Amino acid sequence: MKFLLKILFLGLILSSAFSQTSKRDYQDELRNQNKAINSLNDEIHRLRGKIDKAETQERSAVKKILNLDEEISITEKLIKALKREEENTRGRISRLKENIRKNEDELDFLRERYELRIVNTYQKGQLTDLEKVLSSTTWRQAMYRTHYLKIISEIEQNMTKKIEKLLIEISQQKLEMEVTLRNNLNLKREKEKNIKSYRKLRISREKELNKIRSNKKSLANYIDEKEAGIQQLESIIKKVLEDKARFEREERIRQQQQALKTKSFKSLKGNLPWPANGRIIAKFGRQWNPKLKTTTDNPGIDIKGQPGSEIRSIMNGVVTTITYLRGYGTTIIVDNGGGFYTVFSHLTNIQTHIDSEIRAGDVIAYMGDSGSINGAKLHFEIWGKGQKLDPEKWLMKK
């Protein structure tokens, strides 16, 4: 009995310590999440300023559309962050409710024991414990019983006080979480309403997209933006290659391949699955533009498909980058190990996050028109040892 009570007392202390640690972890996570949300909000305000300035100065339709695309992309990230925070808060509240239930059961158990002791005291008299001590046959036994009764009394009192304190604390946390959840839900609804208005605005600017398609100067401006996007991507790839964290990613990917018993990226040339359903509308390499009578360099392939169709990873790996590129829209870069990287652009509704481990066939996003003037499509690239590779040579033949 004494041993059991000590175990219960120790468990209570550990439970309280775990609760405090869990609380601190959640608060740290909440602060980081709020910091990310505030950063995204600042970015949206900055972009709104750019859009207003572009409209005031009657800048090109390309600038207006691309600025709007970027704002929509960031807003989608913001809504996803809010949704993730909402899910975390819901989970936290659920765990708190479970903790409260367990502690209330423990408290009921202690109260029942107190009631039994009171009944015994009433039935047998106030000197029951003293009688137990005096009825001891030896001095050692009397001392042991006195010490034993004192331990029981102290443990029960301490347990009751700590459980009641913990219940009050958890109840306060639960109320705080529910307030936070309501705020998050309000923010999420507000941002969802905003993104709908952004999309309506894009529809109303369809005439400006027509200008880009029909006006040589506007089309040339768009191509310039894509060239800037290529340089931006090359800069990002260079940083990723120079990043010291790539060694850790290599080891993670190697362990992942061993666990899943998959081959290396290099050994699967010509047998990799396609990242999306659709047809190729722009091949790898130099492309002739009959309208502008110029050639441009395509660092990957463009796949035309149904808006909102699934975009899948072609190989195991780790997500290194989720960003917005001028002319390419929302873009994901995946480290596939062995110096190979895959790039997915014009995405919407991102389903992964930076540093996430993914498998071949995982849905990482959906096909969108972010950064595109030709509707929904996927721009897909493969990089090997810092060089752009022709994806068609690596994907399975259709």
Sign of the CA dihedral with 209 first, then 210, 215, and 220 last:
positive
β strands within the chain, DSSP E: 279-282, 285-289, 294-298, 301-304, 310-312, 317-325, 329-337, 340-345, 347-348, 357-358, 363-367, 377-384, 387-389
Query: Does residue 398 belong to any structural domain of this protein?
Result: no
Q: Which helix (H) or strand (E) holds 143?
A: helix 139-204
Residues 104 and 45 in one domain: yes
Query: Does residue 215 belong to any structural domain of this protein?
Result: no
Cα distances from 86 to residues 186, 261, 305, 393, in angstroms, run: 11, 36, 32, 43
In whole angstroms, give the CA distance from residue 346 to residue 300.
13
Q: What is the pTM of this model?
A: 0.67
Residues 197 and 229 in one domain: no
The backbone torsions φ and ψ at residue 166, rounded to the nearest 5 degrees and listed phi first, read -65, -40
Query: Does residue 8 belong to any structural domain of this protein?
Result: yes
pLDDT of residue 350: 92
Domain finish residue from 154, 169, 204: 204
Query: Does residue 185 belong to any structural domain of this protein?
Result: yes
Query: Does residue 219 belong to any structural domain of this protein?
Result: no
Residues 247 and 155 in one domain: no
Domain finish residue from 204, 233, 252: 204
Residues 338 and 194 in one domain: no
Residues 109 and 255 in one domain: no
Residues 101 and 188 in one domain: yes
Residues 252 and 193 in one domain: no
pLDDT of residue 343: 97
**Per-residue pLDDT reduced to its tens digit, 110-154:** 667 766 766 665 665 544 444 444 454 555 655 555 565 566 566
Residues 326 and 196 in one domain: no
> For the chain (length 398 residues), average pLDDT per consecutive 10?
42 47 56 66 66 53 78 82 81 80 76 69 52 51 58 66 74 79 78 76 70 72 83 90 87 90 91 96 85 81 95 96 91 94 94 93 94 90 93 92
Query: Does residue 57 belong to any structural domain of this protein?
Result: yes
Sign of the CA dihedral with 34 first, then 236, 382, and 247 last:
negative
Domain finish residue from 157, 173, 204: 204
Residues 54 and 127 in one domain: yes
- CATH number of the domain that 365 lies in? 2.70.70.10
Residues 257 and 320 in one domain: yes
Query: Does residue 211 belong to any structural domain of this protein?
Result: no
Query: Does residue 103 belong to any structural domain of this protein?
Result: yes
Residues 384 and 315 in one domain: yes
In whole angstroms, give the CA distance from residue 274 to residue 382.
12
pLDDT of residue 30: 58
Residues 194 and 260 in one domain: no
Number of domain units in the chain: 2
Which structural domain, as residue segments, surrounds residue 133? 2-204
